Amino acid sequence: MVALDVHEYTSNKQIKKMSSIPLPTTNTISPSSSSSTTTIFSTLHSSPLFTKTSKISTIRKHNGRRNFKVSCKTTEDGHEQHNSPIDISKKTDSSSNMIDRRNVLLGLGGLYGASTLVGGHPFAFAAPVNGPDVTKCGPANLPPGASPVDCCPPTTGNIIDFQLPPPPTTPRIRPAAHSVDSAYIAKFNRAIQLMKQLPDDDPRSFRQQANVHCAYCDGAYDQLSFPNTELQVHSSWIFLPFHRCYLYFFERILGSLINDPTFAMPFWNWDHPDGMRIPAMYTNPSSPLYDRLRDRRHQPPVMVDLDFNGTDPNISNAAQTSQNLTNMYRQMVSLGRTPDTFLGDPYRAGGQPGGGGSLETMAHGAVHVWTGDRTQANFENMGDFYSAGRDPIFYAHHSNIDRLWTVWKTLGGRRQDFTDPDFLNTSFLFYDENAQMVRIRVRDVLDSRGLGYVYQNVTNRWVKSRPTPRVSRALSSIRRLVEARAADNDVVTFPRPKEIFPTKLDHVIKVMVKRPNKKKRNKKEKNEKEEILIVEGLEVDSDVFVKFDVLINDEDETLISPENAEFAGSFVNVPHHSHGKGEKKRKTKLKLAITELLEDLDAENDENVLVTFVPKNGSGAVKIGGVKIVLED
């Protein structure tokens, strides 16, 4: 069964050893030697068990919306919490519409009762994001060119709380998609085929499962008890746990349909050289795993580009492999040194997502857009959140994201999940394999083993792919000496942030940014506080594929790639569409951990660093409010 197109579907989205991190002992693979070519994006039967009111999404503009910014005053110890405001892009309560979170919750008529008190303190109310109320699901806000679609699930009055399953004798093992045998492929094909054959109004059907992503990601839901405040599962600390829940129930439905409770879905191992192509079982046009809305130029044997910006690089497979591995090292190791830089910023009731973590803002988004069809108006299916779930490979992509979350917690240091009650008590609603709606919380899913599954053991070769500086330390020292002399002679080389921002990023921008501590820190100090570059006040056109790179201490941006230490990170916006009340732009921030980068560049004693912003796609569709460097616990 071939996947439907958009209109058919909507009528019924150099290597440096790091000795502190152990490398799993499995075989390594040599990359192939074929080459890529250079191309440019030209554009970028009814069930009586459920009732469903039609809420067909339309493409329209709405009136303005009002959002309250809710602050948190206390933590378990009664002290002010760092980054505690709900609108975490703000550090103060100076806004005229900022309301104390406790006052808001006290006015919710008992929804938050005594059970939500944190640590027994009478004024420390929890404010996790809860919901949604599916009976109030509204039209999703779709992009221009998309056919109307109802993303809302069937409604039911019976919602139960999730209970962890009994520990299995042997956990389900999710396999790498490129390594499975013909028997597994046949079983997986049958499971997906049966899911696609279910009636469209069955919440277990493939259509309904695909629409889960549309509803949660494109403005169909409000936060529970906060009408007109969109529930969004990207760009914050709930990104990874939401998608783990999503995949868990998807997998359980598949197993139920084939009467095999041990069935485990595959993962697309795009961070390993053997998995850096679309897995073969997804490319057979006669398979239910096939989706014709994929980029034809990115079919095997073309390798995935984890730094994809709309242009296909003209490099060998060996070079692409090396670049992908260093890119993964950057996201997982050097940028992922703390919970907030890897998992994302806090997201609390009544607020807005504050910013995604390194994995979400880089490889996650790049693979989405790389896979989507460039000939479609919105890069359907994978290239836009509203349609991504229609491609079966979406679930394999996110299964690898889920695996990498587990791997990250094995790398040591401060790489641990948040313990904030607002994180742990955030809840979502999904239909399970029995077509029962279930309320599941983040605290239920932090360990995949508790859900009964693990991942096939594969070699994470990127662990030993630490980037190297383009400029030698000797040359870097000479350059700093020249800059110091220029400063002594009042020669202005590069502007300060306040002289440039806010401004649109429609050209390369270079600014000199002052560091909070120009003295080299010891290992203990680095472990206690991370040096973080914060790009704040970002305003992004949410329906545009946006990518920009951030470089540090390099004056020739044309020569820098993720293989270089000067490459600090990227920001990627996968097109999606907000609540639908006139808000085309989303506000966010980008946080990049730079402690290790400064070591590699021999810049730990520098008073300032040169920060370069390089627009790669969607030039002018993002505005930068400012940039600063801070030390954070």
The Cα 307–Cα 564 span in angstroms is 13
Q: What is the pLDDT of residue 426?
A: 97
Kindly name the residue from 178, 397, 398, 577 that is annotated as catalytic.
Answer: 398
**pLDDT tier at 491 (50, 70, 90 boundaries)?**
low
Question: Cβ neighbours of residue 260 under 8 Å, at least 6 residues apart?
Answer: 187
The Cα 332–Cα 363 span in angstroms is 10
Active site residue 398: yes
- pLDDT of residue 121 exceeding 70: no
The amino acid present at 137, given as its one-letter code, is C
| Range of lowest pLDDT (40-49, 286-295, 477-486) | 40-49
The residue-averaged pLDDT of 453-463 equals: 97
Q: Contact at 8 Å (CB) between 86 and 72?
A: yes
Kindly name the residue from 178, 272, 298, 364 that is annotated as catalytic.
Answer: 364
Kindly name the residue from 68, 178, 226, 243 that is annotated as catalytic.
Answer: 243
- pLDDT of residue 202 exceeding 50: yes
Of 411, 142, 357, 393, which Cα lies nearest the Cα of 247? 393
| Range of lowest pLDDT (89-103, 119-133, 288-302, 417-431) | 89-103
The Cα 615–Cα 427 span in angstroms is 36
Q: Contact at 8 Å (CB) between 272 and 29?
A: yes
More confident call, 37 vs 607:
607
Bond prior to 502 in cis (omega within 30° of 0):
yes
Active site residue 364: yes
The Cα 593–Cα 530 span in angstroms is 7
Query: Mean pLDDT in the chain?
Result: 81
The two tokens of residue 105 are 């919750």
The residue-averaged pLDDT of 466-493 equals: 60
CA 223 to the chain's CA centroid: 20
- pLDDT of residue 91 exceeding 90: no
Active site residue 243: yes
Q: Which residue reads 């998309």 in tokens? A: 146
The Cα 356–Cα 372 span in angstroms is 21
Q: What is the pLDDT of residue 483?
A: 55
Handedness of CA 573, 579, 583, 584 (dihedral sign): positive
Q: Contact at 8 Å (CB) between 303 and 317?
A: yes
Of 628, 142, 595, 610, which Cα lies nearest the Cα of 378? 142
Question: Residue 537 region, left (φ>0) first, then alpha (ψ -120 to 50), else beta?
Answer: left
**pLDDT tier at 108 (50, 70, 90 boundaries)?**
very low
pLDDT tens digits, 338-352: 999 999 999 999 999
More confident call, 47 vs 431:
431
Active site residue 234: yes
Residue 491 bridge partners (DSSP): none
The residue-averaged pLDDT of 267-287 equals: 98
Residues in the chain: 633
DSSP for 588-604, please give it: EEEEEE-HHHHHHTT-T
The residue-averaged pLDDT of 571-593 equals: 79
Bond prior to 497 in cis (omega within 30° of 0):
no
The Cα 537–Cα 559 span in angstroms is 28
The residue-averaged pLDDT of 420-427 equals: 97
Kindly name the residue from 178, 234, 272, 576 that is annotated as catalytic.
Answer: 234
DSSP 579: S
Classify burial at 575, counting beta carbons within 10 Å of its beta carbon; exposed 0-12, middle 13-18, buried 19 or more.
buried
The two tokens of residue 254 are 């598949």
Q: What is the pLDDT of residue 157?
A: 84
Active site residue 576: no
Q: How distant, in Å, are the alpha carbons of 97, 109, 383, 481 from that of 69? A: 7, 19, 31, 47
- Give backbone dihedrals phi and psi of 596, rounded to 5 degrees, phi first: -70, -40
Active site residue 45: no
| Range of lowest pLDDT (240-254, 374-388, 578-592) | 578-592
Element (H, E) at 454: strand 453-455
The Cα 39–Cα 41 span in angstroms is 7
Residue 504 bridge partners (DSSP): 623
**pLDDT tier at 561 (50, 70, 90 boundaries)?**
confident
Q: What is the pLDDT of residue 107?
A: 39
Classify burial at 615, counting beta carbons within 10 Å of its beta carbon; exposed 0-12, middle 13-18, buried 19 or more.
buried
Count CB-CB contacts under 10 A for residue 342: 30
- Assign 127 to helix, strand or coil: coil
User: Highest mean pLDDT: which of 125-134, 335-344, 488-497?
Assistant: 335-344
The Cα 521–Cα 507 span in angstroms is 35
Kindly name the residue from 125, 239, 250, 385 that is annotated as catalytic.
Answer: 385
- pLDDT of residue 493 exceeding 70: yes
The two tokens of residue 128 are 């996790």
Kindly name the residue from 162, 188, 206, 213 that is annotated as catalytic.
Answer: 213
Q: What is the pLDDT of residue 489?
A: 54
The residue-averaged pLDDT of 482-511 equals: 79
Element (H, E) at 525: helix 523-528
Percent of the chain surpassing pLDDT 90: 66
Q: What is the pLDDT of residue 249?
A: 98
Q: Contact at 8 Å (CB) between 329 and 411?
A: no
